[in-house]
């Protein structure tokens, strides 16, 4: 029913538990409170490793265990990147920050889980919003943003979030009652089909006091795929190396930077999608003018300039178009 796919560049560790209030075991917790694991954590946590490009099915025992709890639960999933030598490059920006003085970052499990029951409930809301009509897969996609706290491995102090964007894909939402009726009628003989149609024509009209069958309709079984992505991917398609920076559009503070080689692609996990972002480029012989930048994400903060009033900020498309015209004038 539920499949999880890793579309990142690093290995993931997933923790499963039927109770959404469960607290996953983290390396930082064991570091700060050695020998107290049994008092603070449940022993029923199940973990799995998920390599880049791989997929796994959510254990059916998780769903069964969650159904036995009080309330409407189907189980929960927490995630974090695996702390190994191969994933050190993910934290180059934090390690290079001299103010942090970070030597060994440790990433904890996500501060909140993906609750599978809420994913299912969202399908019901989408189906009712369509008045019980069939919905194709591209109309029922949604997303979740999760962040994993990054801590200093020496003292356990929290430093920054490690973010993921989770894309939820669903199989088509099909009216269960209509699909059952259609398949039943197709299985009848011609005589039986005629009798069914005759009986339906003789049926009394539905009183106004009864509920609308469209709003009370239910959809058939749904297959879910949770696709884990980095929030931002930056690819250098230029023929030369450049320094790329992500800046907070309103606070004017640099949130991330990296030197990217030609053709190289880097995933950015230490910047979330809840803030407006500007992209700045420095190629050595030319760079983004001071005070300017390409607005690549509006974010969800209040007071962020909209498309009609961007406060001097350029969207990525407009910035590229203007830059192309200026280059054409100088040739």
Mean pLDDT, rounded, for 173-180:
70
Average pLDDT over residues 152-180: 80
Q: Is the pLDDT of residue 215 over 60?
A: no
For the ranges 269-273, 294-298, 310-314, which has the lowest average pLDDT?
310-314
Residue 39 pLDDT class (50, 70, 90 cuts): very low
Residue 54 — φ and ψ, nearest 5°?
-90, 170
| pLDDT reading at 180 higher than 60 | no
pLDDT in the model for residue 191: 46
Mean pLDDT of the chain: 77
The gap from C-alpha 328 to its chain's centroid, in whole angstroms, comes to: 40
Q: What percent of the chain clears pLDDT 90, i.e. is strictly above it?
A: 40
Q: Is 255 helix (H, G, I), strand (E, B) or coil?
A: strand
302: its two tokens:
């209040």
pTM of the model: 0.74
DSSP state at residue 286: -
Which carries the bigger pLDDT value, residue 4 or residue 61? 4
Residue 120: the pLDDT is: 92
Question: On the CB side of 113, how many CA atoms lie within 13 Å of its CA?
Answer: 21
137 contacts 151 by C-beta, under 8 angstroms: no
Query: In the structure, how many helices (H) and strands (E) does the chain have?
Result: 8, 17
The answer, yes or no, to whether residue 248 has pLDDT greater than 80, is yes
Residues whose CB is less than 8 angstroms from the CB of residue 55 and which lie 6 or more positions away in sequence, other chains included:
3, 4, 5, 6
Backbone angles phi, psi at 321, to 5 degrees: -65, -45
Across the range 266-286, mean pLDDT stands at 91
What local confidence, expressed as pLDDT, does residue 92 receive?
Answer: 66
Predicted local distance difference test score (pLDDT) of residue 97: 57
pLDDT tens string 75-123: 999 999 987 766 666 666 665 555 555 567 788 899 999 999 999 999 9
Residue 306 is predicted with a pLDDT of 41
């Amino acid at each position: 029913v539920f499949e999880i796919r890793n579309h990142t560049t690093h290995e993931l560790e997933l923790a499963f538990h039927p109770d959404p209030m469960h607290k996953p075991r983290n390396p930082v917790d064991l570091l700060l409170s050695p020998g107290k694991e049994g008092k603070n954590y449940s022993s029923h946590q199940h973990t799995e490793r998920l390599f880049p490009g791989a997929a796994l099915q959510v254990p059916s025992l998780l769903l069964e265990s969650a159904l036995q709890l009080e309330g409407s639960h189907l189980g929960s999933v927490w995630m974090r990147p695996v702390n190994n030598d191969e994933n050190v490059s993910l934290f180059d920006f934090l390690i290079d920050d001299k103010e942090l003085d970070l030597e060994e970052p440790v990433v904890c499990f996500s501060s909140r889980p993906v609750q599978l029951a809420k994913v299912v409930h969202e399908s019901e809301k989408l189906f009712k919003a369509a008045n019980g009509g069939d919905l194709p897969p591209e109309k029922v996609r949604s997303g979740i943003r999760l962040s994993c706290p990054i801590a200093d491995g020496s003292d356990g102090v929290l430093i920054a979030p490690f973010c993921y964007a989770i894309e939820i894909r669903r199989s088509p939402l099909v009216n269960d009652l209509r699909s059952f009726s259609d398949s039943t009628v197709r299985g009848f003989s011609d005589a039986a089909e005629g009798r069914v149609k005759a009986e339906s024509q003789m049926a009394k009209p539905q009183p106004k006091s009864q509920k609308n069958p469209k709003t009370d309709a239910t959809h058939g079984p749904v297959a879910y795929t949770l696709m884990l992505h980095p929030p931002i991917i930056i690819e250098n398609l230029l023929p030369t190396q450049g320094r790329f920076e992500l800046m907070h559009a309103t606070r004017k503070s640099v949130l991330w930077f990296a030197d990217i080689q030609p053709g190289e692609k880097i995933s950015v996990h230490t910047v979330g999608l809840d803030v407006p972002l500007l992209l700045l480029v420095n190629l050595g012989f030319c760079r983004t003018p001071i005070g300017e930048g390409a607005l690549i994400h509006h974010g969800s903060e209040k007071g962020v300039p909209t498309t009609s009033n961007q406060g001097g900020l350029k969207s990525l498309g407009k910035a590229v178009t203007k830059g192309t015209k200026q280059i054409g004038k100088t040739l």
